[in-house]
Structures are given as structure tokens and as C-alpha cells.
Amino acid sequence: MAEFLHYFPQALSFTNLLTLILGVIGGLVLGATPGLSPTMAVALLVPFTFHMDPATGLILLGAVYTATVAGGAISAILINIPGAPANIATLLDGHPMALQGRAQKALYVCFISSLVGGLIGMVIMILFTPPLARIALKFGPPEMFWIAIFGISVMAGLSSGSILKGLLGGMFGLLISTIGYSPLLGTPRFVYHDVLTGGVAIVPALIGLFAIPQVFALVESLGSKLERPDFKPEKGILFKTIAENLKMVKSLSIGSIVGSIIGIIPGAGGQVAGLIAYDQAKKFSKNPESFGTGNPEGVAAAESANNAMVGPSLIPLLTLSIPGSPTAAVLLGGLLIHGLFPGPDLFISHASITYTFIASLVLAQIAMCIFGIILSRYSYMVMSVPNLFMIAAVTILAVYGTYSVQNSFDDVIVMFTLGTLMYIGRKFGFSPAPVVLGIILGPIAEDNFLKGKLIADTDVGLFSYFFTGSMNMVIILLCVASIGYSVYGEIRAYRKAKEALV
Amino acid sequence: MKKDLIVSLVLLAGVISLYLSLGYMDDPRAANFPRVIIIIMGILSALLLLQSVYLKKPESAGGERFPFGRFLICFFMIIVYFIFMEALGFYLSAFLFFIVVTFTLGKSDLTARTAVMRVIIGGVFTGILFLLFNVLLAVQTPKGLLL
């Protein structure tokens, strides 16, 4: 806490504050735009942060990450399409409110509740991250290898409808990370073309896997019309709504607590947090029957939960390289291109950057509420941006973003090839997040696997070195539990689908 | 599921050819880590194949027809954009790409008014990019005919 307070003023410098405000406004707009996923928005920004001071670059990414989660609620409330999976629970009461002509109130409740939940989540993050980072200090090569595998297994279960496809995606990512020269022996591997000589860098992979499939998906959806409710901004309800909102103590508390707990669990994500908080708020309500018909308490519970999740979801990311969501996986890529590796080193050698980043996340929550309230009056305009313009704009940014990192057209070719493959992969039920995480964690996994093998060969042997020891066993059990839980979920869904057919 | 059957067979074929290619590496030790990954991928692909044969999930109803023509047009426009980016420079090629994409893919509602609007929006967008990259971030962009 003392370090956090020490570095807090750095987040308030003119450049950092301006970046934060621009990031929040941009994040709100991108989150609210149907057809643009928050993960893609953050992925597109990563290369531009490369030209900035590391702290400023991370502030931009953190601000966009925070704001897209809240911005996604705008399209959930106004057009019944969640901007991100985290906003699914928001539309259950938010959209009925919009249909009743109370869209403005629903948006205000959304941003105020997001602020309350977001700040509580940040306190949890500030308190728990440094102690967990100190535990990570005790990790050697086998633990780090298993942590990388755990990260992939979590993402495999989180972002794909099939755990097998998720794991295949993760393994494909690991395989891509081995393209280029072997780090230990300097031997070329899978270099089938000159373009692949330098391997596949993180930025082309991030942009290709997230942005190009989105461009093609937008091309597919051209011509389809979205239903939009009549949205007339109401005047003079802001202070009344703030007062009403702050009286929703039960919903806000449930949302913030559930969101914070779910956020710390890698892989659970904002979608789960929002839905569980909504369900609990309904169970504890005196009028549970009013939920789903336009009850602001439902919006408050869902939004406080999905924003409370943001801070704690960064705890496993900053300490162990395990992202809690696909967007956090992209954020991990942003850390790595600045040479910042998650773990204790982040809080010792790079304390200035890390704590400035954490402080900016607190400020981003406040800015998100203020600008969210201001922009909500004009949110209807964001909904009206034609897909045609987004196809052109996203492609141009994707191409230039990729090119700008190393001024290389080879990277652009790699980006477009991976993106086209991912678009085809999506048609077959594959998801980009495990592939990206495989590419990011691949070097960590290989490096620690080879280091561990060298030590094991001269010591206790490969099996004993990697499969014994309490910390190894805990992480291996977590991997098994993560995969087992996804398999159980799939079997249950399969049985339900079969019963429904009978 | 038919889709899973196809994908698992394609993956198995890919995994086998990748495994065979490991034998051609200059130093066999460099293949250790990729070999482990390829073996795991092989096992997972085989499991997917078994799942697609023995655990048949109900097929979802077919949605709208895939707009193959539109997809191909977009694909080739992006390729042409790559080719001309270095010759024309970043800003000119970005502006032209914006115009060509919005005119070609949005030709169904193309009128004199929408055409002018698209050109103006393309110009404003390119102007914002110029301000952002050249003025604010001062980064290098591909130079061409004009900028």
C-alpha cells in the first residue's frame, strides 16, 4: 500500500492523465460499438503503445480495458447486444428499462455501479498482488513450466465451447512460438519461408488473431439491420439516480464481493461474475419477480460485479502470467513488448511503472464513470456507425499497427495469414484466445522446460523433477481441475441437449 | 458432427506431416519441445475424431448462406492494399483503401450524397491518422508518392 501511495502522483502527470482520459473515452466508444470486441480494441492498441514510455503505454491499455467493460453495457442496454461477454447479465434488466423509455437511467445506474464495484475490486488488487508476487519468488523452472501450462488450460476452458478445441488452440499457439531459431541451440525450426526467419512476434499474432477475423465477420454481417429502441435523453435525473443508486447497498455489495472473488479465480471471467451476482441479488431481493422486467437493482448487481472483476483479474496476471480473460491475455502481450515480465521482478525492478499503472487503473474507474455519464447522452450516435466504415478502419489500423513495430512487411504477411486461418478456425469452433496465450507463454514454457531438463538430467531425473514437490503437485492438480471442470460442463451440456431432443 | 470430423482429420494429417518434418532439423535436440507439443496435439486430434464419431451433438440449424463473393472481394482488396502500400505510401493507400472498400462493399446504397459522405469520412479518418502518427507519436510510416 505504501508503494502504491508513493507512486500515485506519477499517474497524475499531464501526459499520463491525458492518455488515461483519451483511453477511457476511446474504450467507452469501442465497447459500445456493436461488432467491435473489447479484446480486439486492446489488441489493435498494443503496437501504438510500443512508441510510448512503458508506463504511459500501459496506462492507455489499462484505461481502454477498464472502459470497454463498462462501455459494452451501452449496447447491451440500448440494442440488447452485449458489447462483451461480461455484459450479458446487464441486458436482462437494462434492455427492458430501455424499452420502457428509461434507457438514460439504466445507463447512469450502470456507470455509477461500475465505479463502486471497480473501486472495491482495485482495493482488493492493491492489497493482494504484492504478497502473491512474493510467493512466485519461490518458483523454479518446473513450477514456471506448469504455471504456463495452467494458463493455457484455463484459457482453453474459458473461451471455447469445446475443451478439446481450446487445448488444441493452446498447443497450436505453443507450436507457433517455436517457429524461428531455437533459443538454446540456435537451430532453425519450421522456417519454411524467409518471412518466418525471425519467428512469429507477439504483435502480429495478437492483431491477426483478433482483428482480421472480426473484419471478415463484419463483411459477413453487412446488410443485416439492428433493432434500435427510440432513445431520448431524459433531463434532470442524474442526481436523483445517484441518490437512488447509492441506496442499492445490497445489490452493490453482492456485485462487488462476487466480482472480486470471481476475478481472482483465473478463467472465471466477468461473464460468470455478472450472472452469479445477478442471481444472488435476485435471491436476496424482497421483489425477486421484478428482476428481468426492468429493475435497476439487476443492472447495479451485474455492472458492479463485472467491473469489480477487472482489478482482481490482474492479480494472477501480474504475479503468475495467468490472465483471467481474453482481454487480460492481450494485456499480457502489452506488458511483454515493453520487456516487463509478470512476477516479483515487476514489483521490485519495475516498481515505478507497475505502481503507476495500478494507480492509473483506480483513476480510470473514476474517469470511466464521469465520461460514461457524459457520453451516455450521445451513445445512440455510436450505435449508428455503419459496419462498412469499421471494416476499412480496423483493417488500416491492423495493417499499420503490425507494420509499425519493426517496420516490416513480413510481419504484415504473418498477421494476415494467421488472421485468415483464425477466421476459418472460428467457423470450426476454435477461439483465438488460447492460441494467443500459447504464443505468449510458449517461450516461458520452453525455456523453463529446457532449463528444468538440464537440471533434472544431472540430479533426480525428469519425472521426479517435474512431477514431485508440493508446489508442482498443487499446480498440476489445478491444471487437472481446470480441464476436468470444463469436461464436466461439456458432458452436462451434452446430456441436456440430448434430453431436450427426447 | 461433420465439421469436427473434417477438422480432426485435417489436424491429424497436419500433425503427422509436422512430426515427420522434425527428422530434418539440423540438431535433433532442438526438436525436443516441439515434439512434445506435436504428440499432445496428435492425442487431442484423435480424441476429437472419436468424439465426432461417438458423441454426436445435435446439429444446429443452418443459418444464412455464407457470402463467399463478398468475402473474396474483401480478401483481395486487402492483398492489393498490402501491395500498393509501399509504393503509394501509408496515408494515400489508406485513403484509397477506405474509399474502395466503402464503395465496393456498400454499392447497394451508393448515391451521390453517400459517395460524398464516404470520401469526406475517409479524408477525415486519414487526417486523424496523420495527426496521431506523424504529429503526436512521431513514428515512421511507409513513404510513397505524397507522404
Please judge whether B133 and A174 are an interchain contact, meaning their C-beta atoms are less than 8 angstroms apart. Answer: no
pLDDT of residue B37: 94
B26 to chain A: closest CA residue: A187
Residues of B in contact with A190 (CB under 8 A): 18, 21, 34
A467 touches A145 (CB < 8 A): no
Q: Please report the ipTM that was assigned to this predicted complex.
A: 0.90
- Inter-chain touch B3–A429, beta carbons under 8 Å: yes
Q: Does B40 touch chain A (CB under 8 A)?
A: yes
Q: Which of A129-138, A152-161, A309-318, B89-98 has the highest mean pLDDT?
A: B89-98
Task: Examine the domain organization and report whether B99 and B128 are in the same domain.
Answer: yes
Length, in residues, of chain A: 502
* Pairwise CA distance, residues A425 & A161, whole Å: 13
pLDDT value at residue B34: 92
Q: At what angle do helices A326-337 and A202-221 cross, to 10 degrees?
A: 140
**Residues of chain A above pLDDT 70, percent:** 93
pLDDT at A135: 75
Residues of B in contact with A395 (CB under 8 A): 78, 81, 97, 101
- Record: contact B58-A185, CB cut-off 8 A: no
Instruction: Encode pLDDT of A263-311 as tens digits.
Output: 777 655 666 788 888 888 888 888 888 888 888 999 999 999 988 888 8
* Helix A326-337 × helix A54-79 angle, to 10°: 160
Copy the grid coordinates of residue A373.
455519464
Best interface-test mutation with A: which of B37, B56, B135 has the largest number of A CBs within 10 A?
A: B37
User: Is residue B132 domain-resident?
Assistant: yes
CB A294 within 8 A of CB A93: yes
What average pLDDT does this structure show over A52-79? 86
What's residue A160's pLDDT? 60
Give the start-to-end residue ranges of the domains of chain A. Answer: 2-501
Question: B residues 117-146 near A, CB within 8 Å?
Answer: 121-122, 125, 129, 133, 137-142
Contact list, A449 vs chain B (CB under 8 Å): 33, 36
B63 inside domain:
no
- B147 close contact with A: CB closer than 8 A: no
Residues B72, B132 within the same domain: yes
| Helix/strand/coil percentages in chain B, nearest 5 | 80, 0, 20
Q: Are residues B74 and B129 in the same domain?
A: yes
**Shortest alpha-carbon distance between residue A491 and chain B (Å):** 10
What is the band of A231 on the pLDDT scale with cuts at 50, 70, 90? Answer: low
Four-CA torsion A423, A424, A428, A434, nearest 10 degrees: -50
Q: In angstroms, rounded to a whole number, what is the distance separating the alpha carbons of residues B18 and B22?
A: 7
Question: Any CB–CB contact under 8 A between B54 and chain A?
Answer: no
Q: Residue B44: its chain A contacts at CB < 8 A?
A: 164, 167-168, 171
Is A409 close to B38, i.e. CB distance below 8 A? no
Q: Which helix (H) or strand (E) holds A241?
A: helix A238-246
When divided into structural domains, chain B yields a total of 2
| Residue A269 vs residue A111, higher pLDDT | A111
Out of B6, B70, B98, closest to residue A222 by CB: B70
Chain B contact set for A51 (CB, 8 A): 137-139
CB contact under 8 A, B57 and A165: no
Percent of chain A whose pLDDT exceeds 90:
16
Q: CA A84 to CA A263: how far, in whole Å?
A: 16
pLDDT in tens, B28-57: 888 888 999 999 999 999 999 998 888 766
**Domain match, B46 and B75 both:** no
**In this structure, is residue B61 part of a structural domain?**
no
Whether residues B48 and B108 share a domain: the answer is no
* Contact assessment for residue A99 and residue A229, using Cβ atoms and an 8 Å cutoff: yes
pTM of the model: 0.79
> Is B77 among the domain residues?
yes
Quick one: B39 and B82 in the same domain? no
B26 touches chain A (CB under 8 A): yes
Range of the domain at B98: 68-136
Residue B127 belongs to some domain of the structure: yes
Q: How far apart are CA A427 and CA A422, in angstroms?
A: 9
pLDDT for the residue numbered A35: 63
Cβ contact A164–B71 (<8 Å): no
Distance separating alpha carbons of residues A282 and A195, to the nearest angstrom: 55
A163-177 and A470-501 helices cross at what angle (nearest 10)?
140
